[in-house]
Chains A and B, each alone.
Chain A
Amino acid sequence: MAVLDPVSKNYGKMKNYVNGEWVDSESSKVLDVRNPATTDVIAQVPLSTKDETRAAIDAAQEAWWSWRETAPGDRARCFFKLKTIMEREYENIARIISQEQGKTIDDARGETRRCIDNVDTAAGITSLQMGYNLEDGAASNIDEEVIISPLGVFTAVCPFNFPGMVPFWFWPYAVATGNMFVVKPSEQVPITTQYMFKLIEQAGFPPGVISLVNGKEDAVNTFFDHKDVKGVSFVGSTPVAKWIYKMAGEKGKRVQAQGGAKNSLIIMPDAVLDKTVNNMLASFYGCAGQRCLAGSNMIAIGDIAEPLLKKWLEASKNLKVGCGLDESSQMGPVVSAAAKAKVLGYIQKGVDEGAKLLLDGRNIKVPGYEKGHFIGPTVFDNVTPDMAIAKEEIFGPVVCFHRMKNLDEAIEFIHKSPFGNVSSIYTQNGRSARDFRYKTQCGNIGINVGIAAAMAYFPFAGYKDSFFGDLHGQGKDAIQFFTDRKVVITRWF
């Protein structure tokens, strides 16, 4: 079957978008952006300087009051226009995501839909930002009300695994509530963000309202150091999330920092085996395992272990690994050579620790894409809770199969993990499902759902070392993160 055409074979050197204009970075540091399926260079990204980042924040701050005074209904209109443009550009967005990140085109289409969902939700700002009041609330003849106010300039530091969606967890809510926003995309996948900004530009947001700065540490450090930055949103690994939380906190900024994960999926003896296996394939192998919601530990309870493992191996072997732009591919490559090396290192570690490697994806060959960063489905059996592969985030298509006696043992295992992003249970028993959702300490729970990814109008974040902060991304949490409450007490003489 023919591979879908990319939007472009080479997107050139990425630009920053500052104060409503596309500007070249003057940084001497420039990185190549590669298609992970082919390793061809498809763009270059500059690592913007502190001065360039500062200029973007200054321009945003300068333009803030004008946007803050724009009526919520008028702000919402920009989002309605953006939605129309994004629907029109849906397929192009998805193809760019697939091309630069490696994920399958269906995964990329799903991600694109989630971007638009967040725009849809933010477009409802006239309802979402409403305050509340109480006549005679302070005393007889003295009214009291709460106004939900914007704060100024916010920023986001984004990861490589969802180049489209993650910025949209944050900026639509910040901008809809009357704030300004500066996005720093991952330097590994900057093309989608640049493309999105071209659409944002067409939607008519005034200059300075939303800006794009390509870069790495210098840009991020400037977010912390600049007095006008009110908050930082982050998604990435746990060590960096901890650092972001600390640095932003020390500078008195709001922060929501989403970290890594080690997610467990529990299969009870009464699970519907065929449907469970099919659903878990998407969880463990979707996005080549590079999701913070990806399954990693598969925990079989009781005597379902053998039939489950047999079916799982058969399904894993049949999975078609290939270029993401080939619509028939069911799993694409991981994002980079470094990411592949890290995953291969974990597979070797699993072997060294004594786990039994039932399916080895290390030497997979994808015809026509011999240089690509592919790893085939990999399955370990006899994994024990003390092994590194059972505890640490691998971020690749590696399944750690455990056998446990009962649900309590599985929940105890989940609770020993420092992470708490998502856990799922597969069962037809309401009691088991209820116990699981009640007891499990994770930010997201799936019941017969392997990727429990909150929709735009629900909050998204994990517990424990999977999240540092209190207000989550998306939905009402995002509205609260980007605003403050102002109490007004009114008396008329």
Chain B
Amino acid sequence: MIQSEFPEITTFGTLVRFALELERVAAMVYEELASDPSCAAGADTFKALAEKHRARMALLEETRREKLNEAVLEPISDIRRADYLVDTAVPKGAHVKGSAAFAAVVEDTSAKFYRDTARIAKSILHGAVPIFERMAKENASNKARLEGL
């Protein structure tokens, strides 16, 4: 089981912290799948997707650094943590298709989180909206890649 700590989302800081945790967990899910011999056929894809999610963490940190403006720093109350939690119990010994289906749920959850975050960010951090929208699109593209396995 991958250890995770998803915070309640009350501030921009916790929103980015939640997103960072989503990316870290997604990367670890892919790394575990890549190392599972029963998923050898998808190992390269899983490794590549793990790298993509790790790279997104840097983008999120850059977003926090450059887009945060305290003039519009408002409390956040309409994103519920429970709606975006991902299952961190990665299945062992599953066939590549089953593993890909497990990972696809992580991508779906992540995509939903970024779509909803982009909507919220429109009023408080407009400059971050394109970044969150891009993240959601990438999730969809990752999912398509998984479906090809």
* A residues adjacent to B (C-beta < 8 A): 1-2, 87, 90-91, 104-107, 109-111, 113-114, 275, 278-279, 281-282, 286, 315, 318-320, 327-330, 449, 451-453
The answer to whether B13 and A105 touch across the interface, beta carbons within 8 angstroms, is: yes
Other-chain contact of B74, A90, A113, A279 (Cβ < 8 Å): A279
Q: A106-B13, A327-B13, A328-B8 are in contact. Are A453 and B64 (CB under 8 A)?
A: no
* B residues adjacent to A (C-beta < 8 A): 5, 7-8, 10-14, 17, 64-66, 68-75, 77, 123
Query: Chain B nearest CB: distance from A431 CB in Å?
Result: 24
Query: Chain B nearest CB: distance from A282 CB in Å?
Result: 5
Residues of A within 8 A of B14 (CB): 1, 327-328
Q: A275-B123, A327-B7 are in contact. Are A106 and B68 (CB under 8 A)?
A: yes
Chain A contact residues, majority secondary structure: helix
Which A-chain residue is minimally distant from B13 (CB atoms)? A327
Which 5 residue pairs across A and B have the least CB separation, nearest first? Answer: A110-B70, A327-B13, A106-B13, A1-B7, A278-B74
Q: Considering the chains assembled together, what is the distance between the CA atoms of A279 and B7 in angstroms?
A: 23
Q: A327-B17, A330-B75 are in contact. Are A320 and B70 (CB under 8 A)?
A: no
Q: Considering the chains assembled together, what is the distance between the CA atoms of A461 and B72 in angstroms?
A: 20
Q: A1-B14, A318-B77, A327-B14 are in contact. Are A106 and B8 (CB under 8 A)?
A: no
Residues of B within 8 A of A114 (CB): 70
Residues of B within 8 A of A318 (CB): 77
Q: A1-B5, A106-B13 are in contact. Are A282 and B68 (CB under 8 A)?
A: no
Q: A275-B123, A327-B14 are in contact. Are A281 and B74 (CB under 8 A)?
A: yes
Q: Considering the chains assembled together, what is the distance between the CA atoms of A275 and B71 in angstroms?
A: 14
The answer to whether A327 and B11 touch across the interface, beta carbons within 8 angstroms, is: yes
Which A-chain residue is minimally distant from B74 (CB atoms)? A278
Q: Considering the chains assembled together, what is the distance between the CA atoms of A327 and B68 in angstroms?
A: 14
Q: A1-B5, A87-B65, A109-B65 are in contact. Are A452 and B10 (CB under 8 A)?
A: no
Q: A104-B11, A327-B17, A328-B8 are in contact. Are A113 and B73 (CB under 8 A)?
A: no
The answer to whether A281 and B75 touch across the interface, beta carbons within 8 angstroms, is: yes
Q: A1-B5, A328-B8, A330-B75 are in contact. Are A106 and B65 (CB under 8 A)?
A: no
Query: Chain B nearest CB: distance from A436 CB in Å?
Result: 18
CB pairs A–B below 8 angstroms (12 shown): A1-B14, A105-B13, A109-B64, A109-B70, A110-B73, A278-B75, A279-B72, A327-B11, A328-B8, A449-B71, A449-B72, A451-B72
The answer to whether B11 and A110 touch across the interface, beta carbons within 8 angstroms, is: no
